[in-house]
Amino acid sequence: MQARHKRRHNLILLVGAGRMGGALIKSWTAQGIRPIGAVEPNPRQHLVGLAKTKRIALFRDVEELAEASVAACVVALKPQVLRTEAIRLRPIARSGALMISIAAGTGIANLRKAWGRANIVRAMPNTPGAIGKGITALYAPSGVKAELRDLAVRLMAGLGPTFWARRESWVDIVTAVSGSGPAYVFLFAEALAAAAREQGMPAAIAARLARATLTGSGALLEHDAREPAALRADVTSPGGTTEAALRVLTGNGALEQLVRRAVAAARRRAEELREQG
């Protein structure tokens, strides 16, 4: 087993195959990217199946990689796990491999403590990437060459659109907006369903209405290029029910101010985590 791993060259390696990592593996196999390896001590059945069909090489531990040649390593570990595991990836980083970290609040400076002057790219995807509907911000220091940047885009594109952040500080903003943003949307779905129940709607129907309203509105937002304000105006008849509701949500800038405070709090926390290392 280990001898076969040693002969692998230019491996595209995933470290941590949870929900997001699993989505990356799925997109890579669909694109025909080869060879692929995954380090996961507790692999899900899908990953085991890919290993059995030899579409990927499955490793239970980084040590099993031995002398494998890694072209790119995507580290899909939670920040608290990465803090302890990053040092074990130092040999890969020092080999010249592209190192892509998707951990929130873990800056280039902190990654360099473990990896040195490696080819590091930070990526900030969000959970809709698990179904190819996410968006990913990428940031790389000036020393990362164009071909490695292109490879980073290719490896992350399966989660949805990508864009390059001009400054690393933007990644903290992305974390606060699109990284944490799905939780804001899910919270609104909870609140909308709760309001429907309070008005006398059965719980199951209230949940269905809230979910369908948000997913349908999101789909419309994706397919209609007009500004959100224009889409909102389409729903808002003068003197009608929607206008009455919006007066409550927007009175004295209530909703806008609440969202601004929420995003600012998330950004501050991302900065704190980055500074803590």
Domains along the sequence of the chain with CATH: 2-171 (3.40.50.720), 181-276 (1.10.3730.10)
Confidence at 274, pLDDT banded by 50, 70, 90: confident
Whether the per-residue pLDDT at 67 is higher than 90: the answer is no
pLDDT the model gives residue 5? 43
Six-digit token pair at 26? 């799925």
Confidence band, pLDDT 50/70/90 cuts, at residue 105: confident
Answer yes or no: is pLDDT of 156 > 70.
yes
Residue whose pair of structure tokens reads 């980073």 in the numeric block: 152
| Pairwise CA distance, residues 11 & 15, whole Å | 12
Q: How many residues can be counted in the chain?
A: 277
Q: Where residue 6 falls among pLDDT bands split at 50, 70, 90?
A: very low
| 150 and 173 Cβ atoms separated by less than 8 Å | no
DSSP state for residue 130 in the 8-state scheme = G
Structure tokens, 270: 């991302």
The 3-state DSSP composition of the chain as helix, strand, coil percent (nearest 5) reads 60, 15, 25
Does pLDDT of 8 surpass 70? Answer: no
Mean pLDDT over all residues of the chain? 93
Mean pLDDT value across residues 154-176:
96
User: What average pLDDT does this structure show over 55-62?
Assistant: 91
- Specify the pairing of strand 119-124 against strand 136-139: antiparallel
Please compute, for residue 260, the number of CA atoms within 13 A of its CA located in the half-sphere on the CB side.
Answer: 5
Cross-strand pairs, 138: 123, 164
Between CA 162 and CA 159 the distance in angstroms is 9
Question: CA angle, corner 253, sides to 251 and 254, nearest 5?
Answer: 75
* Integer Cα distance of 129 and 136 in angstroms: 8
Q: How remote is the C-alpha of 138 from its chain's centroid?
A: 11
Q: Is 0.85 surpassed by the pTM of this model?
A: yes
**Residue where the block lists tokens 């985590």:** 273
User: Residue 268 and residue 262: Cα distance in Å, rounded?
Assistant: 10
Give every CB contact of residue 30 below 8 A, 6+ residues apart in sequence.
158
Under 8 Å between Cβ of 160 and 132: yes
Average pLDDT score over residue span 171-192: 97
Q: Residue 165 has which token pair?
A: 């952040």
Residue 1 has pLDDT above 50, yes or no: no
Tokens 């040693």 sit on residue: 6
